[in-house]
Amino acid sequence: MVIILLYPAFDRHPTSQVVTLDGQNYLVDCGEGTQIQLINYKIRRSKISHIFISHLHGDHYFGLIGLLNTLGLLSHQQEMHVFGPSPLKEIIELQLKVADTQLCFPLQLHTITGPATLVDTDKLTVKCFRTNHRIECYGFSFTEKKKARSLLPEQARSFEIPQSFYDRLKNGEDYTRKDGSLVKNEWVTAPGEPGRRYAFCADTRYDESLIPHIEGFDMIYHETTYLDNLRERAEARFHSTSKQAAEMAVKAGVKKLLIGHFSSKYDTLEEFEQEAREVFPETSLALEGVCYEI
Amino acid sequence: MVIILLYPAFDRHPTSQVVTLDGQNYLVDCGEGTQIQLINYKIRRSKISHIFISHLHGDHYFGLIGLLNTLGLLSHQQEMHVFGPSPLKEIIELQLKVADTQLCFPLQLHTITGPATLVDTDKLTVKCFRTNHRIECYGFSFTEKKKARSLLPEQARSFEIPQSFYDRLKNGEDYTRKDGSLVKNEWVTAPGEPGRRYAFCADTRYDESLIPHIEGFDMIYHETTYLDNLRERAEARFHSTSKQAAEMAVKAGVKKLLIGHFSSKYDTLEEFEQEAREVFPETSLALEGVCYEI
């Protein structure tokens, strides 16, 4: 799983991230000009199957209609699923209608109305959860499905399990021998690697109600619009400080923290990193064009 | 009057132009990323008072909402007039509403429903006219008001006209002498320079019904999506060829022709220029970032 930042995520500058998994690209937010950034960073637009829009502030979605339009012109084939709060569907449909645009790919516009499982395939689950922002806003969690259990060949042979059953063992099935006796799966396999987990916490105030949705994750992105000496301003404007993002990472017991959405009033970002690392050392700045691998 | 191209105006790539007059910027079309191009080319956003949207294909207006939003954040002061066909007003209002955006400047969204005079000040008249495109589409003509007449001082003195009346002579008034005899204005003044005239012909098929709106203009921009060997394709797709644009310039008796909106299927533009110049030598390619002065 790789997360690629398409923008430095300065406050009020466009936000967009790409989560890649198994050759598929999942786009999270789509600020104006995202389609240009996709080209700049050589990210295959044809591999985008899902787009998740956190909320309807322009810096998070003004680039969506342009991207969909361009995909139509590029003869995009794959079905495209777009998720976002109301009235995103209405806005996009209106804009397609007035231009008399017939997209050449199936477009599914899904309205998010509350916490939900948005995608559930054999590879991945994507869920959304409410964040605490001025308007209706959602974070997104990406959970890779647990990998198959790994076979312990010696044990399997000792129970005389035929090789043709090994794939079913990896999927967790027990084996019943000809004499009717049961071979429990855990006797002949070891647990597979746990699936990787990433959460995008969107724009939000510091809010511990997010914790259950991101607990123990490998990496989370949390916004840090201000430094902590402006905690009151952050609160008033429905944003967070760098220290608060780090405190969230600690309380949620995550492994890594990515911070972004810095206010443009700051000229440099070192202090954001410093402030967060004092609380949570495994913090990185979300920088444009950088890939963060999990 | 200066026309600045913000995009190379390739087919399906964003279109945007700035017409400057007397320190005021008039924006014509506003494709995605126009606000970035305004910064790149150091065009003062605070001096934009009017935005004209020709039609609701995305490459001509997807950047509008982002620009308005940013102007709001920059504490833009001046009243902003936006003109475009229906339902542009509805789209913009919906997007502002869902983001709960309160712009800090007065925004007037005007719906164009047919040929009309959109702006009429003591400096400038802007009119719109229908072009021949797949969806409702308008061109825009910019006509500078005729400059004041110039005084012929010797003649004025010979008629014993007091200097205090000279400004009224420049504005075209006649003078009545104390003995009741009339001094006709044209005896003591020469015509002022005519106002400069520029027309943006938007996306359009070759259509001679445009001529009355652009006749004798100093410069027109006319689209040339294809070379003339694809005249049928141009017709079918509601676009023009380079030769047709040049023929329009000849028939309308304009002084200069700017061609743009070249299809991205062409790698180079020399042939467009050549083809047009064979018919109308005073043709220039519309190139990104270049200023065309009238």
pLDDT at B11: 47
- A94 and B95 within 8 Å at the Cβ level: the answer is no
Quick one: A247 and A275 in the same domain? Answer: yes
End-to-end CA gap in chain A: 5
Quick one: B184 and B68 in the same domain? Answer: no
| Confidence band, pLDDT 50/70/90 cuts, at residue B9 | very low
Packing angle, helices A270-279 and A242-251, rounded to 10: 30
* Tens digit of each residue's pLDDT (9 = 90 or more) over B21-73: 988 999 999 998 898 888 888 899 999 999 999 999 998 999 999 999 999 88
Q: Please identify every stretch of chain A with a pLDDT value under 50, giving residue numbers as ranges.
A: 9-12
Q: Is the pLDDT of residue B13 over 90?
A: no
Quick one: B74 and B61 in the same domain? Answer: yes
* Tens digit of each residue's pLDDT (9 = 90 or more) over B193-252: 889 999 999 999 999 999 999 999 999 999 999 999 999 999 999 999 999 999 999 999
pLDDT at A6: 65
pLDDT at B113: 97
Q: What CATH number is attached to the domain comprising A79?
A: 3.60.15.10
Quick one: B106 and B172 in the same domain? Answer: no
pLDDT at A11: 47
Quick one: A126 and A155 in the same domain? Answer: no
% of chain B exceeding 90 in pLDDT: 75
Structural domains in chain A (count): 2
Last residue within a domain, chosen from B133, B168, B190: B190
Of A11, A22, A29, A59, the catalytic one is A59
Within an 8 Å CB–CB cutoff, is residue B194 touching chain A? no
Quick one: B125 and B234 in the same domain? Answer: yes
Calculate the CA dihedral of residues B146, B147, B148, B153 and round it to 10 degrees.
-130
Q: Is the pLDDT of residue B15 over 90?
A: no
In A155-169, which positions are buried (b, 16+ CB within 10 angstroms) versus exposed (e)? ebeeeebeeeebeeb
**Most B-contacting residue of A6, A32, A37 (CB-CB within 10 A), to test interface:** A32
What's the rounded Cα separation, in Å, for the pair B20 and A284? 45
What's the per-residue H, E or C state across A79-105?
A: CEEEEEECCHHHHHHHHHHHCCCCCCC
Q: Do the beta carbons of residue A267 and residue A15 sit within 8 Å?
A: no
Mean model confidence pLDDT for chain B:
92
* Tens digit of each residue's pLDDT (9 = 90 or more) over B129-146: 999 999 999 999 999 988
- B56 and A90 within 8 Å at the Cβ level: the answer is no
- A135 and B87 within 8 Å at the Cβ level: the answer is no
* Tens digit of each residue's pLDDT (9 = 90 or more) over B76-124: 889 999 999 999 999 999 999 998 888 999 999 999 999 999 999 988 9
What's the rounded Cα separation, in Å, for the pair A189 and A179? 21
pLDDT at B14: 78
Complex ipTM over 0.85: no
Within an 8 Å CB–CB cutoff, is residue A62 touching chain B? yes
A202 vs B1, higher pLDDT: A202
- B135 and A95 within 8 Å at the Cβ level: the answer is no
Cis peptide before B115 (omega within 30 of 0): no
pLDDT at B162: 94
Domain residue limits at B171: 150-190
pLDDT at A166: 94
Quick one: B114 and B6 in the same domain? Answer: yes
B-chain residues near A62 (CB < 8 A): 32, 62, 65-66, 69
Which among A32, A35, A135 is the nearest to B99, CB-wise?
A135
The CB density around residue A289, as the number of other CB atoms within 10 Å, is 12
Quick one: B282 and B220 in the same domain? Answer: yes
Of B59, B203, B218, B228, the catalytic one is B59
pLDDT at B122: 87
End-to-end CA gap in chain B: 6
pLDDT at B267: 86
For residue B75, what are the contacts with CB-CB under 8 A and spacing of at least 6? B104
Quick one: A19 and A71 in the same domain? Answer: yes
Quick one: A65 and A116 in the same domain? Answer: yes
What's the rounded Cα separation, in Å, for the pair B38 and B18? 9
Nearest CA-CA distance, residue A11 and chain B, Å: 11
Within an 8 Å CB–CB cutoff, is residue B94 touching chain A? yes
What's the rounded Cα separation, in Å, for the pair B17 and B182? 48
In B220-246, which positions are buried (b, 16+ CB within 10 angstroms) versus exposed (e)? bbbbbbbbbebeeebbebbbbbbbbbb
Quick one: A166 and A218 in the same domain? Answer: no
- Edge to edge, the sheet with strand B48-52 lists B107-112, B80-85, B48-52, B24-28, B17-21, B2-5, B291-293
pLDDT at A236: 97
pLDDT at B101: 87
Last residue within a domain, chosen from A129, A161, A190: A190
Look up the pTM and report it: 0.82
Quick one: A32 and A174 in the same domain? Answer: no
